[in-house]
Chain A
Amino acid sequence: MALVLIGLSKVFDTKNGDAPLHVLKDINCRVEEGMFVSVVGPSGCGKTTLLRIIAGLERSSSGKVLIDGREIAYDTDRIGLVFQEYALFPWFTTLQNIQLGLEIMGIPKRKRLAAAMNYIHRFGLSGFENRYPRELSGGMQQRVAIARTLIIDPKVTLMDEPFGSLDSQTRNDLQAFLLSLWETQRVTIIFVTHNVDEAVFLSDEILVFSSRPASIINRFPVDCPRPRDRTSPACNAVRKRVLEALEAAKKGPLPAAQESEVLPSCRR
């Protein structure tokens, strides 16, 4: 179930007669099933827009999103999205939030509650199933958000800086948690983050985006054996390369000629 992005671009029209906003320019990429891919890039460069397009919340101005060689059908293909602000429904308890996707799919009550309780136990949320989001810590809320997304067994799981608003200790814990999940469940993950350390720790590959209009200017495999040691020389080497690429990214997209030299793997 490979996810393929072909020639994605996004232009926002502005209201005051200002020039339209080019946010994404010619994004081409292939993500194999079960891969953990991180997207890093300067602030405001369009990473969130890209996720929203893949999730079906925005329409691209041009280009396609393919899954298994065909265009995504948003009413049947399940694409999970974990929002930066968790977006847990405040009027539902933990249990109600998590089982909601299954309820919408029409799964019978007993089955979906059992599935949700399973996630609650696995995610260390036992005892909190009848609490409301406002009663949960940030780390717990994010775990609920992830559970809510994974329970519907999406083909691709998109995560938009999910750990951005957490303190670094909770962040590290959740990274380890996410990795252990991924290692057992092997979901395809596209993970947007500002934090290069996080990207290096988590991913199989890192895509570096330029500033607006964003295009992919680099793609680094993370050649670092798992389980990852954040301080190992291999990790450090990757981190260094990514940071350098990010510096270059701030200057803007590459001219077309250079793109094909840098990204042979993305232009399949």
Chain B
Amino acid sequence: MTINIAIIVKLEPDFSEGNVSYNSDGTLNRAETKNTLGPHSTIAARAAFYAKVKYDARVSIGTMGPPIAESALQMAQRICDAEELHLYSDRIFAGADTLATAEVLKTGIQKMQGKIDIVFSGHRASDGETGQTGPQTAWKLGYTFFGNVTDYEVNVQNRTIRVKRLVSLQGFNDIIEEVDAPLPVFISIDPSYKPVFNTISKRLAYEKYEKEAKIRSDNYKQYLRVFNVQQLGVDPILVGLPGSPTIVYKVERIPKGKANRKAEVFDGSNPEHIKKAVAKMREALAAMVIK
């Protein structure tokens, strides 16, 4: 007996130096910036690989995007040794907000082989940053949702899962909450997640699947299925722009705030200035101690 895992991933701008390009006003130059598997999608793929190693799980990956988004599937497959890749790609899907995106992903996950026991998503996309798509897909699937998950263990026999999740709230200490739930569940994985492979059997399985993942991802097209709106069988009214309640009405530069402090400017190449600056800093720190 094993479990079926799905991951939803996203192709995102690559913010690493040399790949990212900014306009002179500090905004992202999307045309010049390369794309890659999102960093949070990468972590979700690692969480899925843990299930592959530990429970011999079957892994499927889904993404919505233009044809080039298949590279995100390949990169994620390289990490988690998936045996099924889904690309949901249709011009109709373009311009979707999170509700319309969740509709596509939900329908896609329901089309994966085997009934999915756990869906993993990243914490949030590094370009959109809403963090809404995961929980919205979960609700549409009718799966219990857990956010900010830092660790998980599955009881394969009982079909239950135990997760640890990080709860950070303004003005409170961070809390680690441990929760037990029946499968299926939807997990959005916390950025701090780190899988541990500390037994010999796990290390052996790790090496085996690691090799397999490389071979599979080199031949990823064999595992790839592309779905357009008809093939996915989703109602066109519920996806893309028609299915999106929200629109981006305008984009403007955030006005530069008025000066809240009057900065004293020091020239860093002038030793006298450095001396004065340090004296001020020390004064500030000393004054505080008395308080």
Question: Is A bound to B?
Answer: no
